[in-house]
A and B are shown apart, each in its own frame.
Chain A
Amino acid sequence: MLLIFAAAWIGLTLAEKRAERNGISKENINNIIFNGLITFVIGGRISFILQNIPAFIKNPFGVVSINPDMFDPLGAVTAAIIVVLVYGQRRRLLFWYTLDALTPFFAILTIGIGLSHLAAGTAFGKETKLVWGINLWNATRHPTQIYETLASFLTFGLLWFKRHDTRSGILFLTFAALTAGSQLFIQAFRGDNTLILNGLRQEQVIAFAALAFIFILFEYRLKEKP
């Protein structure tokens, strides 16, 4: 968790530096990220409560318990996206320019998530005999946490040194395509996937669908005159 917060802080600093280039003020970037993070935390708890109402009816004080385990990540992300969209609309921020301004934040956050997986031993790999395998959970495994961290570093590097495209949304879509592509590749080495349809990895199928959708969005954004 500390690594993710550290990454969010570094990401925010970099996003602020790049914000002006995308026509977004530092103040707006700060507010978007702050509102998003606060809603992420509160939304995750509320979503967990809504999914387990009978447990909280019997123990209403559990709602304000400090247990971090009472958290639904999907609900948290959904709530944060809704609040950020509402904030953006009320402040009349341009959607694609804002996403471009936030891209350094997202890129650093993915590095932080990879490092936090490494620290906690989660998102672990399947067993391997390769020499770079790491000993984790009583087996020698693919260091998938290192793979994902390296892929995130590479993505960040490519974006940071990428020539500035005047068409809005291209920077964010490049980040999204690289992240979906690397996940599609790396998930094959994970040892904790959800399997569907005779052994297909659900996470790879989601990454594939995301990639196809991103390509469609690329064409839509590239129609804009530079």
Chain B
Amino acid sequence: MYRNQRVILYILILISGASWIALSAEKTGSAPSRDIPAPQASFAAPDFTLKTPTGETYTLSELRGQAVLVNLWATWCPPCRAEMPTLEKMYEEYKDQGFVLLAVNMTYQDDPFAVVPFTQEYSLTFPILLEETGDVAAAYQLRSLPSSFFIDRDGIINEVVIGGPMSEALLRTRIEEILK
């Protein structure tokens, strides 16, 4: 192919590419996934209402405006146990800046009588929620424990961390990101 023919081909390809970019532009001007609840970064966090062992009720959507970490855990899960002291430390450090930590115990696959002694053993002060039906686990497509969902002030999942224990540095960077 001669040079002139190649240049014409390049120009035709680039014009087609530019047209395709213009044609496929998002008319709404916002990321298309933000309205749909799904357990994935850039989606709205699936809503839930759960109770603590003392009967207090928490609804995720009512915490809009605050940065939320939803941590799914169980008492029998070693990495869940290992990251609890760090979670407590981070909660104490950031709660006054609008950070909320919801530790959702997978009660439907855990010993319900072990939860309260566990929280006392680790001196946990953040809300412990009891997931007794498996609905929240299904909504969050739980694959592994622990699973952590970092949710920004608009209720959008910013980051998902599957597995643990999370290091303090990782927690710090993620919490500061959702507090922005």
Contact = CB atoms under 8 A, between A and B. Distances in A.
B122 interface: no
A116 to B, nearest CB: 14
Contacts of B7: 219
B172 A55 contact: yes
Contacts of B23: 188
Interface stretch (A6-14, A21-29, A59-67, A88-96): A59-67
B117 interface: no
Contacts of A200: 21-22, 25
A115 B14 CA distance: 28
Interface of A: 48, 52, 54-56, 58-59, 61-63, 65, 67, 69-70, 121-122, 124, 126-127, 137-139, 181, 184-185, 187-188, 191-195, 198-201, 204-205, 207-208, 211-212, 215, 218-219, 222
Q: How large is the interface on B (under 10, 10 to 19, 20 to 34, 35 or more residues)?
A: 35 or more
B21 A192 contact: no
Interface of B: 3, 6-7, 10, 13-14, 17-18, 20-33, 36-38, 40, 42-43, 159, 161, 166-170, 172-173, 176
Contacts of B167: 59, 61-62, 65, 67, 70
A188 B17 CA distance: 11
Which 3 A-B pairs give the minimum distances between C-beta atoms? A62-B169, A188-B24, A65-B167
Given A192-B42, A195-B29, A212-B14, A201 B21 contact: yes
Given A192-B31, A193-B26, A219-B6, A208 B18 contact: yes
A22 to B, nearest CB: 23
B159 A205 contact: no
B170 A62 contact: yes
B17 A138 contact: no
A185 B18 CA distance: 10
Contacts of A58: 168-169, 172
A102 B56 CA distance: 60
Contacts of A198: 25, 29
